[in-house]
Structure 1
Amino acid sequence: MKIFNSILLLLIITTLGSCKNTSSETNPSNKIKTEKHTDAQGFNYETITNDPTGLRLYTLNNGLKVYLSKNEEEPKIQTYIAVRAGSNYDPKESTGLAHYLEHMVFKGTDEIGTQDFEKEKVLLQEISNLYEEHKKESDPEKKKEIYKKIDQVSQEASKISISNEYDKMISSLGAQGTNAHTWYEETVYKNKIPVNELDKWLKVESERFSQLVLRLFHTELEVVYEEFNRTQDNDFRKLYSAMLEGLFPNHPYGQQRTIGTSDHLKNPSMVEIHNYFDKYYVPGNMAVVLVGDIDFDDTISKVNDAFGHYENKEVLHPALPKEQPIESPIIKEVYGPTAESVAIAYRSAGIGTKEEKLLTMADMILTNGKAGLIDLNLNQKQAVQNAGCSPTFQNDYGFHRFSGTPKNGQTLDEVKDLILEEIEKLKRGEFEEWMISAVVNDLKLTQTRQYENNTALASAYYNAFIHRQNWEDRIKFLDDLKKITKQELVDFANSFYKNNYVVVYKRKGEDKNVVKVQNPGITPVELNRDKQSEFFKEFSNLKTQPLKPKFVDYKSAIKETKMDNGLKVSYIENPNNDLFSLNIILDMGKDNDRNATLAAGYLDYLGTDKYTPEELRKEFYKLGINYSVSAGSDITFVGISGLKENLDAGLSLLEHLWSNAVPDLETYNKYVDKIAKARQDNKTQKGTILWEGLLSYGMYGENSPLRNIYTIEELQRVDPAELVNKIKELKNFKHRIFYYGKDVEAAVASLNKNHLINNELADYPEATSYLQKETGGNVYFVDYDMVQSEMIFLAKGSQFDPKKMAASRLFNTYFGSGLSSIVFQEIRESKSLAYSAFSAYSTAAKKEEANYVYAYLGTQANKMPEAVDAMMDLMTNMPEAERQFNSAKEATLKKIAAQRITKSNIFWTYEGLKKRGIDYDNREEMYNTIKNMTLADLKKFFNENISGETYNVLIVGNKKDIDMMALSKLGEVQEMDIDFLFNYEKKNEDIKL
């Protein structure tokens, strides 16, 4: 399946037709129309005929849009509150304003987050006045003096405020995914709540969006600056920004980054933020989206009670600059430590235009992850390391972005030219006509999968709102795509893809534009976690009908049958649609045979005695069938998925490939080169270095699963014929089958016909074992060119014990994860020492393995000593806050009560439990244990399992900026060689980070 960026994926979701029936005969465009209704309570709403999502779109009297859709599969509601307010509308002198406002909306109102607002508002006004002075002052020393005053007054104000009260209330509902995001034209606030908590959620959100109070301003500003630093450490974002600057030399898409500029972040105006909120956060510019187990009439009445009293104002979004056509290629370069790549982008018309439809089709013809021109001619043939493309559409403009990374010895210009040649093939019409209908079917498959998910559907709704799209037009989108002819697409390609592109070269090297930031020396603010506002007290007294948890009887939910040859088939019926997945499972993997992952990857590039590799991919794509062969450490999957009607043909094709794959030496040599280049690229990714290389070394030392790999020289000596035989011999080992879909009998009949095996199946080779080493006294450091520093504290705990799962889950909620957790409050909210800080007691995935305690910090190098001290103090002495504990306990219980394990997840969840030696749904035990736990019990768990642990400290950062003497206090500092961490061979031209 093609990997889309998040925005494209949401757009595709919004374009799709029926979940239940995707045929044009039963859902023709001329039968799709908007109908208006009035319910018994007098609320007006719209529906779309033949809408598979069942949307009711209401407009309240004050202009607020309310999108409602019903799905009873789980007792939860995905909620979004969307505002047509993004960085496009930031004042030019205050970029980053919309995004910073998003952060501040979590801080409360005159009722939420305060002990005495009348006293607090006097101090907040003083802080606002000081910021206005600070912004106007040009003398650096005088600015510092003003900032000191801001810090002093902020300390006084913090004595009255109550940190994170909003999140405490929302968490107490059992909410998940509490967050928000800001982009060019939108700010969206997110929660997924249990259905019985709708009233309380509405009470909080109604109050939250009624007004803006900018409390705890300077500490949150420092947090946003840490977020700014993270963007400076992200080479992809730098490339993306440069691409947009070239595409949009006048429009805010290219000229105003959502995060803002360094200078603007240093000189904020609370007055301007208030003005922005008052202008855009009004009913006619907002939408409430609720998708889940709701009653329409009851829900709209409650939403109206919560938001209907808001006073509307007319919103005039600013007229934004128009762009002139691009007449010749625009060339940009960015630098950073990660692997080199190239991006090519063409500017297009915006969402809702004819060009959006044509470009969507062109994009899928070029790359769909299976049989597109770039898929077959560049990726399948390994002509480049990898390449792809995806479109993005916004209100005013869109763009089609192509990307590629080079093979060893290949230049970025060579990659660019290869991509441009595939575009030329599209312009020449060098694709088969059946591809157009196959693309539409592929998009329908994507739609069917996505519309089963409340979050994806709710995202589609808010995107339609933000982009001012009629839902009717989105429902018709695929029918419109069907009408596109090959000639029309070719004509479009010839008029659209000319020398009118922006090309950005991402080169390795030092970025000269990095902004170094001083630590402003913020005095930690008061958290007052033991305090509650009057609003919180009233909120807490609201009673809701509790949800009863539902637990799974796995042994009855997972049914079994057998093939004629006696092979066991586990199955679960798909109650929703005609999609299926079928997996042949071998309980062996790379730990049993190092060739497993190597062979699985090689198969993807092979053909058979009947089909070339390209023909084979086309055959699968025609059927709408995805196939995969993958190997993990202890498991291997061979499987297919797609439409049930094509299961037999798809399985026949898979078995043909499995039995008749033909080795090819040239293909294998390219495959080895690809592996070598991927290893070199891995070494340039700080996330890979930290969360794979250092983490694995911190757990296992030299004898780790990560380091147990073939050298490139060893790979070059492998006979590809032996590798193909290894794949063919897989079916001679013991294996089992899991089927999710309808018509189990037909699936088994197809297996009987196509999956032919020996009468006696072999046992698995013995698995390599890896010893988890004791931790403590070691600091493993990798020097990397970055602004922030990232570190993990890692401590090996006791062997897995299912009795600890309840306490660990409650501990993680209370202590280490979420906006109202102890770690987040202390490290980020009070002290502004990190953008990201979390901790967890991690339970092992297998019964014979150890649990781990870990903590993470992402912070400026000049804040690291303070941040480390703060984190280590917390990991040694757990703060005890009774009210916060009770809220965490309530939240944890509600999450379990609202959780439903359904569909194929029943099987995969049970697989995970069995690895831990558990053969039943242990959530019931966890629920009852947590229900009876006290803060004293949690403290006891902390003292026995966390406090006093000795840590390996894993760090990626810039050696020039880090206080190495401070690090030595944590243990013996060892600067690690990246090749050694991953067990890669060194080369003369190895990259210096």
Structure 2
Amino acid sequence: MKLFKKTKLLLFSMLVVGLIGCKTNNNSSSITAEEKNDANGFSYTTYTNDPTGLRLYTLDNGLKVYLGRNTEEPKIQTLIAVKAGSTYDPADNTGLAHYLEHMVFKGTDEIGTVDFEKEQVYLKEISDLYEKHKAETDLEKKKEIYQQIDKKSLEASELAIANEYDNMVNSLGTQGTNAFTSSEQTVYVGKIPSNEVDKWLMVEGERFSKLVLRLFHTELEAVYEEYNRGQDNDGRKMYAKMLEGLFPTHPYGTQTTIGESEHLKNPSMEAIHAYFNKYYVPNNMAVIMVGDLDFDETIVKVNKAFGNYERKEVVHPTFDEVAPLITPVKKTVYGPTAENIYVAFRTQGVGSKDETIVTLIDYMLANSQAGLIDLNLNQQQKVQRASSFTNFDNDYGFHVVYGVPKQNQTLDEVKELLLAQLDKIKKGEFEDWLPSAVVNDLKLSRIRQYENASSTAYAFLSAFIGEQDWDNRLKMLDDMKNISKQDIIDAANRIYKDNYVEVHKLKGEDPSIVKVENPGITPIKLNRGKESDFKKKFAQVESKSLQPKFIDYKSKIKEAKTANGIEISYIENETNDLFNLNIIFDMGSDNDKKLSLAAGYLEYLGTDKYSAEEIKKEFYKLGVNYYVSTGNDKTYVGLRGLKENLPKGLELLEHLWDNAKADQEAYDKYVNKIYKERQDGKTQKGNILWNGLMNYGMYGENSRLRNIMQIDELKEVNPEELVSLVKDLKNYKQRIFYYGKDLDAAITALDANHKVYGDLKEYPEAVKYTETETGGNVYFTNYDMVQTEMLFLAKGEPFDPKNLAASRLFNTYFGSGLSSIVFQEIRESKSLAYSAFAAYDTASEKGKPNYVLAYVGTQANKLEQAVDAMMDLMNNMPEAEKQFNAAKEATLKKIAAERITKSNIFWSYERLKKLGIENDNREEIYNTIKNMTINDLKSFFDNNIKGEKYNVMVIGNKKDLDVKSLQKLGKIQELEVDYLFNYVDKKKIKS
């Protein structure tokens, strides 16, 4: 279960109303609420000129039901939301809301139990022991009580069925089963096939009816592992420090969602029950469903599942007003990652005038194209990178500008540059067209969101948690349009004073790190072969048949040509008036290392007509984005935006392409930026493990990751050469993919602007990289962190399409998801990790090998147990017939609900062709899985997984490393980060 931290993108999808796939209607000025009754007599509210088509029901018991319709695919995005989060945690019991979120997955008196009458006796004893444990101050006596808890928990687990809820919802073909907790909300997530509404509501209606805290102590350890991951996340620590400074007397700043270590060590089952009984009541909850549904049928079913919940009076706590910030507040965070800075200002909360105007200012500062920060700082390379974001909760909000320094630049210098951009807003030093262009850009982005059921559901969620009327959310952009330049200036001068919180993230050891003991939990029983009476009834409910639909790529993708003979693949956009145009070159950095360098350099260039900043402005005014990107084997020159502006956008892109002027000063800054990116990348543990170590495990010394140009080489490159390289792209073989409306108009624009002459050149020969054999190697990189993370990697046989069905079923059954074997054994039974998974990873290209991989992140003092547990699983697959059947059913249902639509048709076909496949192979996969037995899966396991020889990649703190447990896996070799990425000339390797 992830702790929820809002990002600018997610905030935007909520704020700007991520809406449904339907014809665009931006005329929201006449939005009004209307009360209506459906065919069954249920009353609901609907809104005129609402592109989402929301029906908002309120059941008799107060439950809100948000329904939206999107028929693009036979799926429904579901969210079950509770207006309760960490803000309402008792000050002496922080982390309670989040831990409760975990426990709601454990079942009820009906789900997850063999005999609840007997089980509840044990659970009461365990609860009493926890209260005794919480009250005890003597550490030795606390340990003795914990041993009693462990003993009783093992006995109680004999009557529990771990993951029964997960197994049931997974068997429906549900995707993305998860939950998150933030300050004022706890939300349970899943995307279900549209024919499984009855069974899903049967489970969820039971799930929230009663809280049973079974398997409590093992899940508490999982939460502690999550806590440890947070201690290893400098960004999360920065965010917490920022809140602490902004809200020193409010729970937003005085307590975190994950909770304090001491509170996690001393939980109270009674307090968690009390919290559930107080807030998990219908008039404090919402059921949100967006997708392929029938309104009238769905509300009847929701009412049947939740309508008998008892309404209770809910009083949310209120808090004293936080005193205004008068002077800057400085906070410091230490950790191994690169230095950066937040500068944060407190604002009013959701639904306030501040929300509207601060959001406008935020995008005037940073919109990834033509904001003041974008042009004055990023474009001119005055900082390594910078941007801004907002967040609005019920009581307050905040606006953050942030930046990463260049080499030899201080955080204070970055801060002054960021504040200077705010000063420009305060002084009115911005062009008059910018606010209107921002609003139009937000509307354009909203159109893109119309296509996505999930973003619509989250928009409804935001309105519910913020207690906002939906019509006001729809009107927000129109309100923004009416904000004058003087309004912006006045608001900026009111909000952006010397009343900010600055958080400096510095490199160094964090003195606040909490070391956690291994409590020595006895593995609990999983009881895979057992099932509750509820599950038996669940299995008897029949769902309507949902048949898969497969694509005939050659009929779906239309073909045409430009006047000069370039082939165009075309798919019509039937949803809205946006387009996406890609000019594709089947060569990349493997063909020429300088190609990606040149593509990135173009970002900073102007022409004889426009400066680099002016070009960005012109594109932004048109509502069009351009991009030039290079991968290993492909280069794309692309354009996307409003169809009506395709000709002007393409004309501008071609002008830049043909007339870009080299700029030595911009190139020197660009090289310095690359150098700093490399230095910063060395501080990111995810980059070290999943990029550096993984590539070394696959390729050894001869990988494309290490085949790079050194900084001294980059400095010697003539920027004129890079400009010529970009311009010369036009002379190579190329093809075009167009997704949009009016192909003829697009071809006319291409004929007028995209000029190529003569015979097009063949591509340079690509460098080949050969995967090494795996086995007997442990590659370790030292990193200052709490956890130790391990990746097991084994090279398999070359890609064979005949294995695709078995590998997909294997991954569902064995390695991925909350109901998989690996998750159950490593986390649920043994509490060795928060995250653990395994997969048979098929190659992306014909002739390349498949890989077997497994991952576990755990406390250093659990490393030996985790290694033994994972290796045992990778050599001895547990055979559970019922779980296999559920996994098989889930896999088939997921395929049946899959729809490849829109531009994805083309990109899906591109991926298949790389594998030598010309048809929609899902049909063969589906039919093969239908006939598979657990013996077939065991045969696949024995032939492809069991006995494989692994390279093991490990990242962790050297001083905490359990060497003996790793030596069992092979020869330990310590690899320095500089060597992994080839940032130094001499090989640095220790044995």
Task: State whether structure 2 residue 809 is matched by structure 1 residue 840.
Answer: no
**1:10–1:463 CA contact under 8 A, matched in 2:** no
CA distance in 2, matches of 1:734, 1:955: 43
Query: How has the CA–CA distance of structure 1 residues 709 and 720 changed in structure 2, closer, same or farther, with 3 Å as cutoff?
Result: same
Give yes or no for the alignment of 1:419 onto 2:418: yes
Q: Secondary structure at the match of 2:190?
A: strand
For each residue in 1:788-845, what CA deviation from the matched residue of structure 2 results, as whole angstroms up to 9, or x when unmatched?
A: 0111000000000011000000000000000110000000000000110000000000
1:346 equivalent to 2:345? Answer: yes
Please tell me the residue identity of whatever aligns with 1:888. Answer: A
SS at 2:16 equivalent: helix
> Residue in 1 aligned with 2:213?
214
Offset of residue 12 of structure 1: 2.8
Query: In the superposition, relative to structure 1, how do residues 17 and 780 fare at CA in structure 2: closer, same or farther (>3 Å)?
Result: closer
* CA deviation profile, 1:719-752 (whole Å, cap 9, x unmatched): 0001000000001000000000000110011000
Deviation at 1:16, TM superposition (A): 7.8
Distance 1:431 1:112 in 2: 60
Q: Once structures 1 and 2 are overlaid, which stretch shifts more, 318-327 or 144-153?
A: 318-327
State the SS of the aligned residue for 2:937. helix
Question: Is residue 2:851 matched to residue 1:852?
Answer: yes
Name which of structure 1's ranges 124-133 and 321-330 shifts more when overlaid on structure 2.
321-330
Q: Deviation at 1:901?
A: 0.2
Match of 1:666 in 2: 665
Q: Does 1:9 align with 2:28?
A: no
- Render the CA deviation track for 1:81-105: whole Å, top value 9, x for unaligned: 0000100000111000000000000
**2:64 aligned with 1:65:** yes
Query: In the alignment, which residue of structure 2 is the partner of 1:591?
Result: 590
The residue correspondences of 1:537-936 to structure 2 (distance < 5 A) are 537-936=536-935
Query: Residues 471-510 of structure 1 correspond to what in structure 2 (within 5 A)?
Result: 471-510=470-509
Preserved CA contact (<8 Å) 2:528 2:880? yes
Mapped contact 1:345–1:402 kept (Cα < 8 A): yes
Alpha-carbon offset, residue 967 of structure 1: 1.1
Query: Secondary structure at 2:792's aligned position in 1?
Result: strand
Alpha carbons 1:565, 1:759 under 8 Å: kept: no
In 2, Cα distance between equivalents of 1:239 and 1:298: 47
| Residue 431 (str. 1) matches residue 434 (str. 2) | no
How far residue 7 of structure 1 moved from its aligned partner, in angstroms, is: 4.4
CA distance in 2 between partners of 1:462 and 1:359 (Å): 21
Question: Could you tell me which amino acid in structure 2 is paired with residue 43 of structure 1?
Answer: F
Structure 1 contact 833–859 (Cα < 8 Å) conserved: yes
- How do 1:213-232 and structure 2 match up within 5 A? 213-232=212-231
Q: CA deviation at 1:427?
A: 1.0
- Which residue does the alignment assign to 1:151? 150
Task: Give the stretch that moved more between structures: 489-498 or 857-866.
Answer: 489-498
Query: Counterparts of 2:292 and 2:470 in 1: how far apart (Å)?
Result: 21
| Alpha-carbon separation, structure 2, partners of 1:252 and 1:452 | 37
Partner of 1:83: 82
Match of 1:94 in 2: 93
Q: Aligned AA for 1:468? A: E
Q: How far is the alpha carbon of 1:9 from its aligned partner?
A: 2.5
Deviation of 1:40 after TM superposition, in Å, equals 2.6
3-state SS of 2:604 partner: coil
Of the structure 1 ranges 546-555 and 315-324, higher mean CA displacement relative to structure 2 is found in 315-324
Q: Give runs of ≥4 in structure 1 deviating > 4 Å.
A: 15-19
Contact 2:21 2:452 in 1 (8 A): no
Identity, % of aligned positions: 65
CA positional deviation for 1:962:
1.2
User: Displacement, 1:490?
Assistant: 1.1
What do residues 633-675 of structure 1 show as CA deviations (whole Å, max 9, x unaligned)? 0000000000000000000000000000000000000000000
Which AA in structure 1 matches 2:689?
Answer: L
Give, in whole Å, the separation in 1 of the partners of 2:428 and 2:281: 49
| AA at the equivalent of 2:636 | F
State the Cα distance separating 1:393 from its structure 2 match: 0.5
Instruction: Map 1:451-530 to 2 at 5 A.
Output: 451-530=450-529
Contact 2:19–2:455 (Cα < 8 Å) also in 1:
no
Matched, 1:393 2:392: yes
Corresponding residue for residue 255 of structure 2: 256
Q: Which ranges in structure 1 are unaligned for 5 or more consecutive residues? A: none
Q: Give yes or no for contact 2:63–2:285 (8 Å, CA) kept in 1.
A: yes
Whichever residue aligns with residue 35 of structure 2, its letter is: K
**CA distance in 2 between partners of 1:662 and 1:286 (Å):** 58
TM-score (normalizing by structure 1)? 0.98
The DSSP-based 3-state class of the residue aligned with 1:363 is helix
Q: Displacement of 1:326 after TM fit?
A: 0.4
Instruction: Give the SS at the match of 1:960.
Output: helix
Q: Quick one: which amino acid aligns to residue 863 of structure 1?
A: K
State the shift of 1:291 in Å. 0.5
In the alignment, the residues of structure 1 paired with residue 7 and residue 176 of structure 2 have an alpha-carbon distance, to the nearest angstrom, of 21
Q: Secondary structure at the match of 1:352?
A: coil
- Per-residue Cα deviation, 1:342-385 (whole angstroms, up to 9, x for no partner): 11000000010111111011111111110000000000000000
Q: Which residue of 1 aligns with 2:48?
A: 49
CA contact (8 A) 2:18 2:452 kept: no
SS state at 1:77 partner: strand
**Aligned pairs (5 A) from 1:124-523:** 124-523=123-522
In the alignment, residue 822 of structure 1 is paired with which amino acid? I
Query: How many Å separate the matches in 1 of 2:114 and 2:22?
Result: 50
Partner amino acid for 2:473? R
Q: Distance in 2 between matches of 1:590 and 1:17?
A: 38
Contact 1:16 1:478 in 2 (8 A): no
**Structure 1 residue 319: Cα displacement:** 1.0
- Corresponding residue number in structure 2 for 1:965: 964
Aligned equivalents of 2:60, 2:985: Cα separation in 1: 69
| Contact 2:20–2:69 (CA under 8 A) maintained in structure 1 | no
Relative to the length of structure 2, the TM-score reads 0.98
Secondary structure of the residue that 1:68 maps to in structure 2?
Answer: strand
Rounded to whole Å, the distance in 1 between the matches of 2:985 and 2:521 is: 44
User: 2:345 aligns to what SS in structure 1?
Assistant: strand
Deviation at 1:42, TM superposition (A): 1.6
Rounded to whole Å, the distance in 2 between the matches of 1:17 and 1:913 is 29
| Cα deviation, residue 11, structure 1 | 3.1
Deviations 1:206-253 (A, max 9, x none): 000000000000000000000000000000011111110000001111
**Contact 1:17 1:447 (C-alpha < 8 Å) held by counterparts:** no
Q: What amino acid is the match of 1:436?
A: P
Q: Is the 8 A contact 1:22 1:444 kept in 2?
A: no
- Residues 843-881 of structure 1, C-alpha deviation per residue, up to 9 Å, x if partnerless? 000002100000000100000100000000000010000
TM-aligned CA deviation for residue 911 of structure 1: 0.2
Q: Does structure 1 retain, via aligned residues, the 8 Å contact 2:21–2:72?
A: no
SS at match of 1:575: coil
Equivalent residues of 1:346, 1:399 under 8 A apart = yes
1:129-184 deviations in Å (ceiling 9; x for gaps): 00000000000000000000000000000000000000000000000000000000
Q: Any idea what SS the aligned residue of 2:728 has?
A: helix
What amino acid is aligned across from residue 581 of structure 2 in structure 1? Answer: L
- Counterpart of 1:979 in structure 2 is 978
Q: Hey, what's the Cα distance between the residues in 1 that align with 2:583 and 2:789? A: 40
Q: What's the C-alpha RMSD, in Å, of the aligned pairs? A: 1.4
4 and 222 in structure 1: CA distance in 2 versus 1, 3 angstrom threshold: closer
Q: Distance in 2 between matches of 1:378 and 1:765?
A: 37
Query: What is the distance in 2 between the residues matched to 1:19 and 1:785?
Result: 50
Q: Does the C-alpha gap of structure 1 residues 424 and 16 become closer, same or farther in structure 2, counting only changes over 3 Å?
A: farther
Letter in 2 for 1:976: L
Structure 2: gaps of 5 or more residues: 1-5
- Determine the C-alpha separation between the residues in 2 that align with 1:622 and 1:802: 47
Query: In 1, Cα distance between the equivalents of 2:695 and 2:805?
Result: 26
8 Å CA contact 2:343, 2:401 repeated in 1: yes
Give the secondary-structure state (helix, strand or coil) at the position aligned to 2:219.
Answer: helix
Task: Please say which of residues 316-325 and 570-579 is displaced more in the overlay.
Answer: 316-325
Query: CA 1:281–1:300 in 2, change beyond 3 Å: closer, same or farther?
Result: same
The answer (yes or no) to whether the contact 1:16–1:477 under 8 Å persists in 2 is no
